[in-house]
């Protein structure tokens, strides 16, 4: 198969005019049999990886439901998100165990839809003061044995875990688990020094930068400043046009550079659905247009998708190549799968999205087959 005539995302040069060839499920230097797709006037980019979304089309990872997880995978694939690492909410351990086991079974069954490449445990090791839309009754102190049990139940799928570093035992927790899972600073009251120590102990990411953490100010730079001063740390950014002002989106790309920003959608089950009332981690969420809130007005995830967030980032002034890097390359690196996906180099999976000149999705190729 060969995709011809398009402007192709290139790791070094942004976009170049060349063909993308694949033989079977892998990208190759030359095309095998299987026809040709004319992408003239279009952009050809790697399939995206969303490392932080909760659900869509009425389903949520936290339901622990196999059919719901398949619904999520199929919807995300239809939007050009070819790899998913959905996030669980703060739940009791028995429910999180069910979530992990359901995900492991889904992975082994090779069910339809985007590849399930991991699980993101956003809770329960968070701060009550910055819990946001997390259920405070189920928060838990950082607990290494508990995390190990969940990792075992997931059969290796747990790739990200969030923690508030100011909580008792959190820094020791980070030191002990950071070699086995990406630790992300999240839902926290940590000041600059505490957050900096968390990064020195092994944390490598920040969950939805600016949201559920102290503000970045000139005398108290907090988590944002500590992350900026830790060059190995990546930062998640919700670019749905609701969570973060467009000026701040531009500032983040300038402060951190396009290699350290990870675009996420943070979508909930209402994504792809109509306005109404929905559940998120056992709490009622009201959706009206692009805004999802708890009954007290707290923003509760988004109702978009990662491809739409990428387009929104570009509308805010982010160069397309930088936005694609943040939605395809960096998240794949964050969870250790960049050797297989995230760019259009020979040997990688033939997971490809084609966008028209307005950045609307025109086609999706998954494991070498056109599915959209």
Strand-pairing partners, residue 206, are 185, 235
- Number of helices (H) and strands (E) in the chain: give both, helices first: 10, 25
Of 321, 318, 287, 316, the closest CA to residue 304 belongs to: 287
* 3-class DSSP state of 345: coil
CA distance 120 to 99: 11
**Is beta strand 20-23 parallel, antiparallel or unpaired with respect to 26-28?**
antiparallel
Q: In what order do the strands lie in the sheet with 234-238?
A: 87-88, 119-121, 158-163, 182-185, 205-206, 234-238, 261-264
Known active-site residue 266 = yes
Of 250, 173, 185, the closest CA to residue 213 belongs to: 185
CB 130: neighbour CB atoms within 10 A?
A: 18
In the set 266, 296, 305, 356, the catalytic residue is: 266
CA distance 335 to 183: 10
Which residues are known to be catalytic?
266
């Amino acid at each position: 198969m060969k995709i011809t005539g398009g402007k192709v995302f290139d790791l070094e040069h942004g976009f170049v005019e060349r063909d993308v060839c694949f033989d079977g499920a892998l990208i190759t230097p030359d095309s095998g049999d299987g026809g040709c797709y004319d992408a003239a006037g279009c952009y050809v980019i790697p399939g995206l990886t969303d490392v932080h979304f909760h659900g869509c089309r009425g389903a949520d990872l936290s339901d622990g439901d196999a059919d719901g997880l398949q619904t999520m995978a199929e919807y995300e694939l239809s939007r050009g998100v070819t790899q998913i690492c959905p996030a669980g909410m703060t739940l009791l351990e028995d429910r999180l165990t069910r979530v992990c086991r359901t995900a492991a079974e889904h992975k082994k069954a090779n069910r339809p839809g985007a590849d399930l490449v991991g699980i993101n445990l956003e809770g329960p090791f968070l701060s009550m003061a910055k819990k946001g839309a997390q259920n405070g009754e189920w928060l838990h102190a950082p607990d290494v044995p508990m995390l190990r049990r969940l990792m075992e139940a997931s059969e290796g799928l747990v790739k990200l875990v969030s923690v508030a570093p100011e909580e008792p035992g959190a820094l020791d927790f980070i030191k002990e688990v950071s070699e086995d899972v990406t630790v992300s600073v999240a839902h926290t009251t940590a000041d600059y020094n505490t957050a900096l120590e968390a990064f020195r102990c092994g944390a490598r990411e920040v969950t939805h930068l600016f949201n559920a953490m102290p503000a970045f100010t000139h005398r108290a730079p907090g988590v944002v400043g500590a992350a900026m001063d830790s060059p190995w740390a990546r930062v998640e950014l919700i670019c749905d046009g609701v969570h973060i002002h467009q000026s701040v989106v531009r500032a983040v790309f300038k402060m951190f550079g396009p290699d350290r920003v990870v675009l996420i959608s943070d979508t909930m089950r209402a994504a792809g659905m109509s306005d109404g009332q929905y559940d998120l981690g056992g709490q009622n969420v009201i959706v009206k247009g692009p805004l999802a809130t708890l009954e007290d007005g707290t923003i509760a995830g988004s109702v978009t998708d990662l491809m739409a967030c990428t387009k929104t980032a570009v509308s805010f002034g982010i160069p397309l190549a930088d936005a694609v890097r943040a939605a395809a390359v960096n998240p794949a690196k964050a969870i250790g799968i960049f050797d297989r996906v995230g760019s259009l180099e020979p040997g990688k999976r033939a997971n490809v999205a084609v966008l028209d000149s307005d950045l609307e999705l025109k086609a999706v190729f998954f494991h070498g087959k056109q599915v959209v």
